Structure 1
Amino acid sequence: MLSAKRKLRLLTAFTTLFMLALAVGCRGFFVNPKLTSITVTPVTPSLTLNQALQMTATGNFDDGSTKNLTGTSTWTSSANTQVSVNSTGLITALANTTSAVTITATNGTVSGSTTATVGQQTIVVAPANQTYSLSTNPGPHQYTATLNGTDVTATATWTSSNTSVATVVQSGTGAGQVTAVGVGTANITATTSNATGSTGVTVTN
């Protein structure tokens, strides 16, 4: 029979092996999740002059979890004289913008950004200054609205200055579709909460 001392040695050895295997098998539970991206919200805010708005930086990790990183991120603006941002992510509209200003939150080597605009912006409506024949090409013709590089066709409100010449689908399905209905000229306008733009339409027989 094994002596008590030998039994104790064997028990100690088995216990050590068991704990080692357990530590190796469970090691993954103790690895810190890795930050993979940062989401900055609100997305593409439109500001009025002197308006302040608190931005939020949300960290997205490789284990599917998220964390508010607003207070621990470094905040920067691509145009501080137009839209400034402080260390807590508070942005302030200082001047009307002619193009979108990028607001970025950085945490370590990972960053995320969105853009902000100030004041009345100009929407680019396309195609520009078209002529349609009432008899051969009345439409409908799809027009698009672009604001600072972003397609706002579906979210803009569309109007025609002369609905006896050209009509346009104002919103919803088919927004921006123009149809010639009479000879003459009309302006087709797209409008959002902080921007507007238009183009001319001429209708011939």
Structure 2
Amino acid sequence: MATKQSGKVGRPRGFDADEALDRAMRVFWEHGYEGASLSCLTEAMGISTTSMYSAFGNKEELFRKVLERYTAGPGAYLNRALDEPTAREVAAAILDGAIRATTCPTNPAGCLGVQSALSVGDSGREVRDLLADWRNNGCSRVHERFRQAVDTGDLPAGTDPGLLARYVTTLVFGISVQAASGATRDELQEMADAAMRSWPIH
């Protein structure tokens, strides 16, 4: 006599969620938030719109997941750079990481977090604000690291850590824009080297 099984067996998703996010990342990276249509996203991800909504939510929720994946992937150089032993090495590692990330031949040029929503309509306002917060958070973390460097004497006592952090992150944003405009890795490295020559010294 057959017994009735309790509960329901979940249907397999049928696709690799991480791979789908990586593909969505490329679409947002290349076309920006508003330029990435749902049809373009789902085609690249290899899933239906229904599957996308079921697995990732709406377009904005998908973008938030993509940004998290970008931060842990191509954008992870910031976390590594902040662990460098001196403020100068932190700044050099940030610039080097930005150059490598924005000119990697296997990825779109530029930075997802800089280019995706600098100019959007009302429908993309929350994403624009999300990315502004994302960029400001990065600057704040660099600021805190440089403040520690001033406190320990690694940076001269009169150094403004906030101004220095803004200087470095502005260079990073400029690197992204230049990379997206076709600047080569060597050209961007020359710019970074020139910037580091003005680094505060005792």
TM-score with structure 1 setting the length: 0.27
| Structure ranking higher in helix proportion | 2
Larger RCO: Structure 1 or Structure 2 (Cα < 8 Å, ≥ 6 residues apart)?
2
* Higher Cα radius of gyration: 1
Q: Which has the larger share of strand?
A: 1
**TM-score of the pair, normalised by structure 2:** 0.27
